[in-house]
Amino acid sequence: VIKEFEGVEVEDILKIELVPGIPNPEISHSPVINFIEVIREDITEKPEISEDVIILKPDETKKLLAQADEERNNKDFDMALEKYHTVLKGAPLKNDKMKALKGMEKIASTRSLLAIRKYCQKLNSIMWDYKEPDQELVDAAVRVYIAIARKLPEENKDRAIKMLNHSFSLTKNFTLRYLAISGLKDLGTTPGKEFEENNFVDHAGCGKKVKLTYPYSTSYTLSWDWHTYPAGGDMALTDGIKGTKDRDDGNWQGFLGDDLEAIIDLNEAITVKKISVNFLQNIRARIFLPTSVEFAISKDGKKFKVLATHENDISQKQGGAIIKEFIVALDNVQARYIQVKAKSIGVCPLWHAGAGRKVWLFCDEIQVY
């Protein structure tokens, strides 16, 4: 798919008229919508779709894509890229040049990737609003994302594509996971293989809304904390994607100095046999496991019954990247709401190099079976 855009400039694609000789003024103002419409015309292979598929209505599609385009056109993205290139060209820097160059390169590239991710999440919301979106629109949206990702500096291309796979994967949209997706076929893979390679899991909580007591990290703070770890945004803890030992894989949602308190609404009462959740520890990056994790259930979302509280048995001083799974096994209980509370240690211990600074609490997925 990426090869299709090699040598093709974004501006050239935008000049293409949807109907020969008849420009479409209704969408000409929007690069994203223009991209979508043009590429949709170019798709010749139409995969078979079941009769119960809900096709996106044109006006609804354009409204959502316009919102996505608005996110893409904010100044953060272009400013981040400009800053990145300025640093690489060796612009005068106040501090030690090599040290500052390294730091600024990291900040600028990360911010540009985050801008891309924000845009990507907006497009992804289109999928969540419908049971099964128009397959052509899905294919086109992915191609649009790739085209925009090409704007990233060459040094970050691999990371951008990696983020693409995690942030906007066709198989992340649960009702499309088991379909014969033409895009995956073109890449020489299958939905099943995509599942395995990207740590996808399928459980009762997939795609369900999550309510957080404390917000996850979404913006840059003081110079001490340049990073932000929103993962997949509001749906990160139920997006069906597990994290790896790489803290920057895009699947760990970070809470800086706060506990994790999440409630998942399953939409209806179901039989629950097991609830599990993963956390990451990497003390070098100030990421610590929670001291304890509490599991609770409810039928009305107000009164919760605590099922179990598990204490962490891994030393805070243990180095390297560690993934700890907390599990509670149930005897076929009925529940609609699942609550998970993970207690953060708050700040780095006195023995740590960052003593007194806020620690990160990293969670990837709350799984319900």
Cα–Cα distances in Å, from 284 out to 250, 258, 305, 319, 359? 18, 19, 37, 7, 11
With a pLDDT cut of 90, the percent of the chain lying above it is: 31
Across 105-109, 217-221, 229-233, 317-321, least confident range:
105-109
Q: What is the mean pLDDT of the chain?
A: 64
Q: Which residue has the higher pLDDT, 262 or 223?
A: 262
Residue 76: how many other CB atoms lie within 10 Å: 13
Task: Write the CB contacts of 33 (distance below 8 Å, at least 6 apart in sequence).
Answer: 27, 62, 65, 66, 69
Structure tokens at 8: 């093709």
Catalogue all structural domains in the chain, each as residue range(s) with its CATH number.
2-197 (no CATH), 210-368 (2.60.120.1190)
Return the amino acid letter for 24.
Answer: N
- What gap in Å lies between CA 93 and CA 83, rounded to an integer? 12
pLDDT of 197 reads: 61
Residue 318: how many other CB atoms lie within 10 Å: 10
Alpha carbon of residue 112 to chain centroid: 15
DSSP-assigned letter for residue 200: B
pLDDT at 113 over 90: no
DSSP-assigned letter for residue 357: S
| Sign of torsion over alpha carbons 248, 251, 255, 259 | negative
pLDDT of 202 reads: 72
Alpha carbon of residue 148 to chain centroid: 17
Burial 208-217 (b: 16+ CB within 10 A, else e): bebeeeeebb
Structure tokens at 283: 């003390």
pLDDT at 245 over 60: yes
pLDDT of 201 reads: 75
With a pLDDT cut of 70, the percent of the chain lying above it is: 41
Closest CA to 144 of 64, 216, 211, 81: 64
Alpha carbon of residue 304 to chain centroid: 29
Structure tokens at 337: 């709401």
Across 6-15, 47-56, 207-216, least confident range:
47-56
Mean pLDDT of all residues in 88-109:
44
Phi, psi dihedrals of residue 277, rounded to the nearest 5°: -150, 140
Residues across the chain: 369
299-354 pLDDT, tens digit per residue, is 999 999 999 999 999 999 999 999 999 999 999 899 999 999 999 999 999 999 99
Closest CA to 172 of 146, 147, 149, 138: 138
Mean pLDDT of all residues in 26-46:
35
Confidence of residue 240 (pLDDT cuts 50, 70, 90): confident
| pTM tops 0.85 | no
